[in-house]
Amino acid sequence: MIPVIDLGPYLTGRPGAFGATAKALGRALEDVGFFVIVNHGVPQALIERTFGEARRFHAQPLDAKLALRMNEHNNGYMMLGRYAVWTSDVNANDKPDLNEAFFVKRERGPDDPLVRAGRRFAGPNQWPQNLPGFRESVLAYTDTVDALGRRLLPLCAAALDLPTDTFDAAFAESQFSFRLTHYPPVAAEANQFGIAPHTDANFMTFLAQTDVPGLQVRMPDGDWVDVPYVPGSFAVNSGDMMQRWTNHRFKSTPHRALPPVVRPRYAIPYFMGPHLDTEIACLPTCQGPADPPRDPPITYAAYLDWWYDANYNAARQRDVA
């Protein structure tokens, strides 16, 4: 069962709510790695406006989208059927996924230290010039969801019996990826998906829910179940960085998206990760003589280099007739 967690008592400072919410969050991350949050504080009008921007972007002619073709920073437009999570150890993914998407990272100016250093994934975003208000709406949404994610960090730390500020420095300037995805209602071949079974590379993912079904989670018993639709909620899951940091105590849970049947599905997942130079090493409360670290330390930048080159190689976006 995928739990539903009410953040309202915690966010409003109700006595005892911090401990109770941290306990519920920790149990969800240990048992399933997926949960649904309600009363999260993100205005529904902002969510709806961002879904509208996803529809507006993908309604453009293909030529307009190709002018923003995905670059080496994984920013920009990715065409339908040009990628899958080939590195997945969940499923033998041998066919491209049936979605198109537009990617945005943290907005950085030319004087930003990472930009000046020429760091990958810190390069400038690509923005459509013919969609007034698009950039402003998208950045308002990413700022708001990033703030929500940072409100959950003390809960994660407390659930691991760590000081509540354990993750604060790593996420003071998160390295996020935001994706506006369009799943058209097209026929799939055998072993083909809207998004094939995979785990996320980041720390935690926030997906505003819609009433068009598609997202499924592989439960610990191996069964695939639909994520329950709760109006006005976010589906949240932990990713590979959470799993590595916690020595696999918190799960990076496999999930997939089925192609929609009648009407298109739009998704706006926010993939929250730490600063690029953060070292992901097993936390002290997640190891012991009988439970040594399972993964070697790695920087988030190094993990992203490997993961994106294997799954989202930008060169695949360039061979367009």
- Residue 320 in any domain: the answer is no
Across the range 146-164, mean pLDDT stands at 98
Q: What residues are paired with 219 via a beta bridge? A: none
Beta strands in the chain (DSSP E): 4-6, 34-38, 76-78, 100-105, 177-183, 195-198, 204-208, 215-218, 224-226, 234-238, 255-257, 265-267, 270-272, 279-280, 298-299
pLDDT in tens, 251-287: 999 999 998 888 999 999 999 999 999 999 999 999 9
Query: Does the pLDDT of residue 320 top 70, yes or no?
Result: no
Is the separation of the CB atoms in 28 and 35 below 8 Å? Answer: yes
Which pTM value belongs to this model? 0.94
- Residue 41 in any domain: the answer is yes
CA distances from 247 to 114, 160, 179, 278, 282 (A): 29, 11, 28, 16, 6
pLDDT in tens, 32-52: 999 999 999 999 999 999 999
The residue segments making up the domain with residue 213 are 4-312
Going by C-beta distance under 8 Å and a sequence separation of 6 or more, which residues neighbour residue 282?
Answer: 244, 245, 246, 247, 293, 294, 295, 297
Locus of tokens 């996803």: 54
- Residue 318 in any domain: the answer is no
Question: CA angle, 142 as apex, 137 and 143 as ends, to 5°?
Answer: 100
Query: For position 161, which CATH number holds?
Result: 2.60.120.330
The pLDDT of residue 321 is 43
- Residue 277 in any domain: the answer is yes
- Residue 321 in any domain: the answer is no
Beta strands in 115-159 (DSSP E): none
The Cα 167–Cα 274 span in angstroms is 9
The Cα 280–Cα 169 span in angstroms is 13
- Residue 56 in any domain: the answer is yes
- Residue 317 in any domain: the answer is no
The pLDDT of residue 186 is 82
Residue 304 host element (H or E): helix 300-311
Report the amino acid identity of residue 89: D
Q: What residues are paired with 237 via a beta bridge? A: 34, 205
Six-digit token pair at 26?
């920790």
Residue 173 has phi, psi (to 5 degrees) of -135, 80
The Cα 99–Cα 269 span in angstroms is 13
Is the separation of the CB atoms in 160 and 286 below 8 Å? Answer: yes
The pLDDT of residue 48 is 97
- Residue 319 in any domain: the answer is no
The Cα 315–Cα 321 span in angstroms is 14
Q: Name which of 237, 251, 231 is nearest 207 in CA terms.
A: 237
Please report the sign of the dihedral spanned by the C-alpha atoms of residue 158, residue 164, residue 170, residue 175: positive
Query: Does the pLDDT of residue 88 top 70, yes or no?
Result: no
Q: How many structural domains does the chain have?
A: 1
